[in-house]
Amino acid sequence: MFDDLVTLPKRNFQDALEAQHRLIKGIETLTKLERPKGGVSEKEVIYTEDKLTLYHFIPKVKRPLKTPILISYALVNKYYMLDLQEGNSFVEDLLKAGGDVYVIDWGYPTKDDMFITMEDYIQGYMYNCVDAVLEHAGVDKVNFFGICQGANFATIFTALNPDKVKNLVTVVAPIDFSPCDKLLFQWGKYLDADSMVEAYGNISGEIMNNGFLLLSPIKLTTNKYLDLIDKLDNEKAMTNFLALESWIFDSPDQAGATIRQFTNDMYHDNKLVKGELLIGKETVQLKNIKQPVLNIIAKRDDQVPTLASEPLPKLVGSKDTETVYYDSGHIGLFVSKRSREQVIPKLIEFYSLRDE
């Protein structure tokens, strides 16, 4: 007992000194860190329209795939989550594996964009981007690589314009909006987008981002910052953290007419699956998709239920479909080295076997 009375204060004093040393070291680390960039891979602008920019990443191999890969990301965040840092970039890995990669940057909508519809995005901006890629690459079809809402849009585009798409890859794609096993899909069914758009015009990125944080409030608003304490003196870990945090809070506003239609037609009425979705005057029929389809699902996705992505292969008209599951979260598929090492080879294999 006497020994404990002596050693316990000594241990507490040593722990306090170590914590103080780590804090000082952490402050030194933070002062040295560079502000994260929004995308690091070398690229060129090949098309612009209104707020939109279409980029072509400079290939890293002499003979990339013949058919270019066009990445369609969601409207709610920026595409550069795929290209955060050198050595931690999905795009970089894809280029090294032989992809010829293009990406749509949707830009930042402002008040004058509040009347932009899903038709404008899909049959306007996306259509023009596809044509720009075809002309730039000197081919007649693209490989689509759609992510989240961007996969939803790519799927709709392919159904409406099948002659322009060679292969379709969808990742964490919300297709069937009937499942209720994730909080976002429960909220969506009761969200009054009409009132929100009438009140605000566009829906701010801050509102959208706060909603996503509330999907896992303890994990996303508390635990990750507590876990950071032990990493303050680790420059690499802090750089990774700041890069991802910068991306998470870089949330564009949402064009009022589009979020109104997406909420009402998808979350409320599930029209895409029912064959009732109108884009302009055209009804979207998923059976028109005869292209090969690779459907990638993250088993630990907090945003898009597995059940929302799984039906796609049965809804399309293609006989060449495959669904692949990865033990990852919604974002982990792209920022985790282990996940990238699994996803990239599968993606390249899928495209390569169908590149002729």
Q: Residue 254 has what DSSP assignment? A: B
Contacting residues for 236 by C-beta, under 8 A, at least 6 apart: none
Q: Please, what's the largest Cα pairwise distance for the chain?
A: 85
For the chain, where are the alpha helices, taking DSSP H only? Answer: 2-32, 90-96, 118-119, 127-137, 149-160, 183-188, 193-200, 205-213, 217-218, 224-228, 235-248, 256-262, 271-274, 306-309, 312-315, 332-335, 337-352
129 a catalytic residue: no
Cα separation, 102 vs 183, in Å, equals: 33
Instruction: Please report which helix (H) or strand (E) contains residue 44, including its range.
Output: strand 43-49
Cα separation, 342 vs 170, in Å, equals: 16
Cα separation, 201 vs 91, in Å, equals: 34
Residue indicated by tokens 């692949």? 324
Q: What are phi and psi of 144, to 5 degrees?
A: -85, 140
The partner residues of 203 in beta bridges, in order of sequence, read: 254
Catalytic-labelled residue, pool 148, 171, 197, 331:
148
Which residues does the annotation mark as catalytic?
148
